[in-house]
Amino acid sequence: NSEDVRCKCICPPYKDHSGHIYNKNVSQKDCDCLHVVEPMPVPGPDVEAYCLRCECKYEERSSVTIKVSSEIL
């Protein structure tokens, strides 16, 4: 299920831009700043420097397990 996978990029503050967390449903091979951070908050010359600061992780989860667990609690 595509809703059970996502890429999460945590980008710290950069120049005059505040930090931000980006989530997007993409494949594991596309789990990087260039595919997930939209809209890109910095102009073209700063994109590489901005993306190098971001930490992107591919996450898989089971929404069925999460739903059942929350109903038990």
6-24: per-residue pLDDT in tens? 999 999 999 999 999 999 9
23-32: per-residue pLDDT in tens? 999 999 999 9
Confidence check: pLDDT of 34 > 90: yes
Distance, in Å, from the CA atom of 9 to the CA atom of 17, rounded to the nearest integer, reads 15
- For residues 11 and 33, is the Cβ–Cβ distance under 8 A? yes
Q: Which residue has the tokens 């089971």?
A: 62
Q: Which pLDDT value is given to residue 69? A: 60
Strands of the sheet containing 20-24, edge to edge, are: 20-24, 5-11, 55-60
